[in-house]
């Protein structure tokens, strides 16, 4: 008998309903028609979830069997329906060539909630990433410039993907690829040597460095010789001049100290701060390899890799003056990361405007014979505007991230003062809600979409927002605190057979699939939107079903559901980088 992949229903670990249904179909199929040449795993893959639960919890299209069996799909469905009997099924229907399966509601609730609470914070996780390494390049702020809202998406998408990969057992390496190379740093040193002093810059931080840089550019318009002075200082950095390097490295320290305040607010950390300058001595081997493999072509004095055959402009590796470019450093960085971490996946969380750059980068790696180029992925995202206005330093419409976050905390505090004047730890909750509102807003839509930030939408406690999900988590916590040990009785899972309870249970069952899809697609918004769906379903359940009823079995079952929702809301929020207050 053909039995590849079959499991008996009672052997399915913790009742995987999809696989259990597939097993029942497989058994009935072989009993009715003999060896049909299909495995239970293939049947499970073909199972569908009907758009309306009135049509069942799972549906199997028998059309795919008609060719192999040489029978009408409706006849196949009728034959199979009559041969399926399982305790966990309340009904099996054959409808127009489909087999529709209705899971027994009480059994469904018992198995899903039991598994969720038994596994706790590991519910939804597996070991698919065990022994694998992912390198994530995100945030990548510029030295001597303030951290602005334009860096929010790369920072938080990267942070979420870092947490999601860790959740699935990956060894994750977070890299902040600092923008710390170029002639602007020579100009910064020249400005500092002319008009700056250590104490003023140390006290003023990045703001003071920006003032010096602005002054240098303004005066260079009147005195072109200053530009030569800036280039000379940058040449000293390139050549390893001790004084130039000391000042340059100090500028980085001051910038990172400023940035650390923002990272602390966001709860974001990195494993490496190796920026562009780190690869200064690692580019020549890459250039030599390109030459040795005949990939470098001279074009008007510059050195390029011709990519016309693949519909792309040439990749400029060296300017005519011998200067390197972003792609030169990125090639060196890619090879260094592969050599150092031997990654199985390398993600670049960078705005979609750099799409061509990464297509060129990956193609050059392929031409160099780096077969691991397939493990590299550009995780692109849209742009951020504020109040309908695009952000521009030149126009003065740039929004600095620490200002935005502090404003969010202040606004959250004002709302808390109004709605919950007696709340303890108001400052801590205001921080959690304010920061959470900004992060949640950023990660709510598909990452490729542009974002127009709005205070009114972000801090709304009733919309599809961070505060709404956080408040639902706190509400569930409040119910459980008031209940005390009232859920010690044996749950009557039949009390969770109503549509509102079942909607929540169904979402709880879907949690593992949502997380798996989010990590596979590099799409944190799937988790964000799931948290809203779960919060909305729970609130409907809460309004339609009184939790603290007299009947102990009903009360215990509803408290069990509440506990599972609280657990998953907290986990989902954590995976997108948002905290879950216990009280609001």
pLDDT tens-digit readout, 424-459: 999 999 999 999 999 999 999 999 988 887 777 877
Cross-strand bridge partners of residue 94: 99
Task: Count Cα neighbours of 502 within 13 Å in the Cβ-side half-sphere.
Answer: 16
With cut-offs at 50, 70 and 90, classify the pLDDT of residue 122: very high
Report d(CA 515, CA 527) in Å as an integer: 7
The answer to whether 413 and 407 are in contact (CB under 8 A) is no
Instruction: Supply the pLDDT for residue 311.
Output: 96
Q: Is the pLDDT of residue 110 over 80?
A: yes
Q: Which element (helix H / strand E) includes 119?
A: helix 105-119
Instruction: Supply the pLDDT for residue 390.
Output: 56
Return the top range by mean pLDDT from 40-54, 57-71, 151-165: 151-165
Contacts of 523 (CB under 8 A, 6+ apart): 446, 447, 517
Report d(CA 55, CA 312) in Å as an integer: 50
Q: Comparing 40 with 85, which gets the higher pLDDT? A: 85
As its CATH architecture, domain 9-103 has: 2-Layer Sandwich (3.30)
Start-to-end C-alpha separation, the chain: 60
**401-447+457-575 belongs to which homologous superfamily?**
Isoleucyl-tRNA Synthetase; Domain 1 (1.10.730.10)
Q: Per residue in 554-567, pLDDT tens?
A: 999 999 999 999 99
Least confident range from 120-129, 216-225, 229-238, 381-390: namely: 381-390
Q: Which element (helix H / strand E) includes 264?
A: helix 242-266
Instruction: Supply the pLDDT for residue 181.
Output: 87
Q: Is the pLDDT of residue 148 over 60?
A: yes
Instruction: Supply the pLDDT for residue 67.
Output: 84
With cut-offs at 50, 70 and 90, classify the pLDDT of residue 518: very high
Structure tokens at 425: 């730890």
CA R_g for the chain: 29
Q: Comparing 220 with 321, which gets the higher pLDDT? A: 220
Instruction: Supply the pLDDT for residue 6.
Output: 36
Q: Is the pLDDT of residue 11 over 50?
A: no
Where do the H-state alpha helices sit in 170-239? 183-195, 198-222, 225-239
Instruction: Supply the pLDDT for residue 323.
Output: 79
Q: Is the pLDDT of residue 396 over 90?
A: no
Strands 58-61 and 98-103: antiparallel
**In sequence order, what DSSP letters do the residues of 157-176 get, joined into one string?**
HHHHHHHHHHHTT-EEEEE-
Report d(CA 416, CA 583) in Å as an integer: 11
Contacts of 255 (CB under 8 A, 6+ apart): 141, 143, 144, 145, 205, 206, 209
CA angle at 424 for the pair 259 and 476, rounded to the nearest 5°: 95
- The predicted model scores a pTM of 0.89
Q: Per residue in 486-516, pLDDT tens?
A: 667 899 999 999 999 999 999 999 999 999 9
Q: At the topology level of CATH, where does 133-293+322-379 sit?
A: Rossmann fold (3.40.50)
Instruction: Supply the pLDDT for residue 389.
Output: 57
The answer to whether 378 and 389 are in contact (CB under 8 A) is no
In what side-by-side order are the strands of the sheet with 302-305?
A: 296-299, 302-305, 315-318
Report d(CA 43, CA 31) in Å as an integer: 15
With cut-offs at 50, 70 and 90, classify the pLDDT of residue 10: very low
Least confident range from 28-42, 271-285, 295-309: namely: 28-42
**Helix (H, G, I), strand (E, B), or coil: what is residue 576?**
coil
Instruction: Supply the pLDDT for residue 258.
Output: 87
With cut-offs at 50, 70 and 90, classify the pLDDT of residue 1: very low
For the chain, what percent of residues have pLDDT higher than 70?
Answer: 95
The answer to whether 183 and 231 are in contact (CB under 8 A) is yes
Instruction: Supply the pLDDT for residue 494.
Output: 96
Q: Is the pLDDT of residue 393 over 50?
A: no
With cut-offs at 50, 70 and 90, classify the pLDDT of residue 477: very high
Where do the H-state alpha helices sit in 11-102? 17-33, 40-46, 63-69, 73-82
**In sequence order, what DSSP letters do the residues of 350-419 get, joined into one string?**
--GGGHHHHHHHHHHHHHTT-GGGGGEEEE----EEETTEE--TTTT---BHHHHHHHHHHHHHHHHHHH
Q: Comparing 3 with 577, which gets the higher pLDDT? A: 577
Domain ranges for the chain: 9-103, 133-293+322-379, 401-447+457-575
Mean pLDDT of 205-233: 88
Q: Is the pLDDT of residue 142 over 80?
A: yes
**In sequence order, what DSSP letters do the residues of 515-529 get, joined into one string?**
HHHHHHTT-THHHHH
Least confident range from 164-168, 236-240, 327-331, 434-438: namely: 236-240
Average pLDDT, the chain: 90
Report d(CA 30, CA 501) in Å as an integer: 36
Q: Which element (helix H / strand E) includes 332?
A: helix 326-341
Domains 133-293+322-379 and 401-447+457-575 fall in the same CATH topology? no
- The residues annotated with a catalytic role in the active site are 145, 148, 151
Instruction: Supply the pLDDT for residue 386.
Output: 72
Q: Is the pLDDT of residue 7 over 50?
A: no
Dihedral over alpha carbons 537, 541, 543, 546 (to 10 degrees): -160
Contacts of 515 (CB under 8 A, 6+ apart): 124, 125, 164, 167, 168, 527, 575
The answer to whether 181 and 283 are in contact (CB under 8 A) is no
Report d(CA 435, CA 413) in Å as an integer: 11
């Amino acid at each position: 008998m053909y039995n590849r992949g079959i499991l008996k229903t009672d052997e399915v670990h913790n009742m995987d309903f999809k696989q259990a249904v597939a097993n029942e179909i497989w058994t009935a199929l072989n009993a009715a028609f003999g060896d049909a040449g299909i495995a239970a795993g293939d049947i499970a893959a073909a199972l569908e979830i009907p758009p309306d639960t009135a049509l069942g919890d799972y549906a199997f299209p028998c059309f795919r069997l008609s060719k192999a069996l040489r029978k009408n799909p409706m006849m196949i469905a009728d034959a199979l329906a009559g041969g399926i009997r399982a305790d966990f099924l309340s009904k099996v229907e054959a409808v127009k060539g489909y087999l529709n399966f209705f899971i027994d509601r009480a059994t469904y609730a018992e198995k899903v909630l039991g598994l969720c609470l038994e596994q706790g914070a590991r519910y939804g996780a597996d070991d698919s990433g065990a022994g694998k390494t992912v390198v994530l390049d995100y945030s990548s702020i510029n030295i001597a410039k303030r951290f602005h809202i334009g860096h929010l998406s790369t920072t938080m998408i990267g942070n979420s993907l870092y947490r999601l990969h860790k959740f699935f057992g990956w060894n994750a390496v977070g890299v902040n690829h600092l923008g710390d190379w170029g002639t602007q740093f020579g100009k910064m040193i020249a400005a500092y040597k002319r008009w700056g002093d250590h104490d003023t810059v140390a006290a003023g931080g990045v703001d003071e460095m920006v003032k010096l840089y602005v002054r240098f550019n303004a005066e260079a318009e009147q005195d072109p010789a200053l530009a030569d002075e800036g280039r000379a200082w940058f040449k000293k950095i390139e050549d390893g001049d001790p004084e130039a390097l000391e000042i340059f490295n100090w500028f980085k320290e001051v910038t990172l100290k400023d940035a650390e305040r923002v990272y602390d607010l966001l709860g974001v950390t990195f494993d490496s701060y190796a920026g562009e300058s780190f690869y200064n001595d690692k580019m020549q081997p890459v250039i030599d390899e390109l030459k040795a493999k005949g990939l470098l072509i001279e074009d008007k004095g510059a050195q390029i890799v011709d990519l016309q055959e693949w519909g792309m402009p040439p990749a400029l590796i060296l300017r005519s003056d011998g200067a390197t470019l972003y792609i030169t450093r990125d090639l060196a960085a890619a090879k260094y990361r592969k050599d150092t971490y031997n990654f199985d996946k390398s993600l670049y969380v960078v705005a979609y405007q750099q799409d061509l750059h990464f297509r060129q980068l990956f193609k050059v790696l392929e031409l160099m014979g780096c077969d691991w180029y397939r493990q590299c992925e550009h995780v692109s995202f849209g742009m951020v505007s504020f109040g309908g206005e695009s952000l521009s330093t030149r126009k003065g419409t740039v929004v600095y991230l620490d200002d935005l976050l502090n404003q969010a905390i202040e606004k959250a505090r004002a709302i808390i003062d109004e709605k919950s004047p007696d709340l303890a730890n108001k400052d801590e909750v205001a921080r959690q809600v304010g920061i959470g509102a900004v992060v949640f807003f950023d990660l709510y839509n598909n990452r490729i979409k542009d974002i127009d930030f709005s205070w009114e939408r972000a801090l709304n406690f009733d919309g599809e927002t961070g505060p709404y999900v956080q408040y639902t988590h706190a509400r569930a916590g409040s119910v459980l605190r008031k209940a005390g040990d009232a859920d010690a009785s044996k749950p009557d899972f039949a009390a969770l057979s109503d549509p509102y309870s079942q909607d929540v249970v169904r979402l709880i069952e879907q949690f593992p699939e949502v997380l798996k899809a989010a990590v596979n697609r590099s799409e944190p918004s799937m988790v964000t939107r799931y948290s809203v769906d779960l919060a909305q379903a729970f609130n409907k359940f809460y309004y339609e079903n009184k939790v603290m009823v007299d009947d102990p079995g009903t009360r215990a079952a509803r408290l069990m559901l509440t506990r599972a929702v609280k657990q998953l809301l907290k986990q989902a929020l954590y995976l997108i980088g948002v905290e879950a207050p216990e009280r609001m």
